[in-house]
Amino acid sequence: MTSASSTNIATLIAADRLETGVVSEAEDRLRGAGAEPAGHHWLETGKAIDIAFAGDIAAVRAALRPLENQADLVVQPSANRRKMLLVSDMDSTIITIECIDELADYAGIKAEIAEITERAMQGELDFEGALRARVALLKGLHRDTIRQCIDERVRLTPGADILLKTMRGWGAHGLLVSGGFTDFVAAVVEMAGFDSMAANRLGISGDYLDGTVNGDVVDAREKALQLQRARQRLGISADLVLAAGDGANDILMVEAAIAGGGIGAAYHAKPALAEKANFAIRHNDLTALLFAQGVVRSDWAAAA
């Protein structure tokens, strides 16, 4: 069991099954980094484990990095692990698709738009410019296509509803921030169980998309600002924030969470974001964020 005198926790979440030899190797690596292991505790037997230690977090994270081909890894203080504010990106994080790419499919131009989306998420293109360019190509698409796309293609990422239901069960607030569009985001807020949202508004003239984005764009800077505003509005301390995303436009939001002492998670992310995060989820679904908060499997809320 975890020692009450320990100050930090390393959590390993297996890609498949976490063998005892891996746990022993992790503890040896801790010692090699000058950190003394103080016992371990299974969050789910064979799947996820907490290893308590006294030592430097950055040194331990570096020492354990070779194990990332077998497990997702987060190293953090043992205090305040359960977060009170979850701020998440939507496309390819809370849901499995990029909505603008799927909407473009109905217009017969998915390949063209998906290429721009990929480059923007890699950080190769200015996000706002890339968004406006893609939306311009959708001009003339009937507004009913949005609802059709939601009904036919928008699906939650595995673990999303369990994550939200479990965190809201202890009183946490969920904020969905997206560079996508309000129609899609409002639907996902309801599907997943978020409390609030911020997103872009598609320009519509009559019954057709007019190829514009109304108002200011929700970009990387705005996502980070939304995190700070929500935290301040709700009176939540900075170390009780969890931010999650997958692309370059989530970097500032993730960095804001980390700077405050919280968790900045990269979910099956582009390299530009993964290298900035303090928790890169490569093997597991979104329930890894519950293990990261020290929640044992038996305490998860049931899926809808």
Per-residue pLDDT of the chain (304 residues; tens, 9 = 90+): 333 345 899 999 999 999 889 999 999 999 999 999 999 999 999 999 999 999 999 999 999 999 999 999 999 999 999 999 999 999 999 999 999 999 999 999 999 999 999 999 999 988 999 999 999 999 999 999 999 999 999 999 999 999 999 999 999 999 999 999 999 999 999 999 999 999 999 999 999 999 999 999 999 999 999 999 999 999 999 999 999 999 999 999 999 999 999 999 999 999 999 999 999 999 999 999 999 999 999 999 987 6
Report d(CA 149, CA 8) in Å as an integer: 45
> What pLDDT score was predicted for residue 6?
55
Distances (CA, A) of 181 to 28, 93, 96, 103: 48, 15, 16, 11
Torsion sign, CA atoms 57, 175, 237, 218: positive
292's tokens:
């990261």
- Residue holding tokens 């969920």? 174
> What pLDDT score was predicted for residue 74?
98
- CATH class held by domain 1-79: alpha beta
| Residues designated as active site | 89, 91
Report d(CA 220, CA 224) in Å as an integer: 7
Give the start-end residues of each E strand in 136-293.
173-181, 196-205, 208-214, 241-245, 263-267, 279-281
Distance linking the first and last C-alpha atoms of the chain? 32
> What pLDDT score was predicted for residue 264?
98
> What pLDDT score was predicted for residue 304?
63
Please give the backbone phi and psi of residue 163, each rounded to the nearest 5 degrees, phi first: -60, -50
Is 268 within 8 Å of 281 (Cβ atoms)?
Answer: yes
- CA-nearest of 22, 15, 72, 115 to 277 is 72
178's tokens:
């997206």
Distances (CA, A) of 108 to 134, 167, 271: 13, 40, 29
- Residue holding tokens 């406006």? 132
> What pLDDT score was predicted for residue 296?
98
Give the start-end residues of each E strand in the chain.
8-14, 36-44, 48-54, 71-77, 85-88, 173-181, 196-205, 208-214, 241-245, 263-267, 279-281
Is 134 within 8 Å of 113 (Cβ atoms)?
Answer: yes
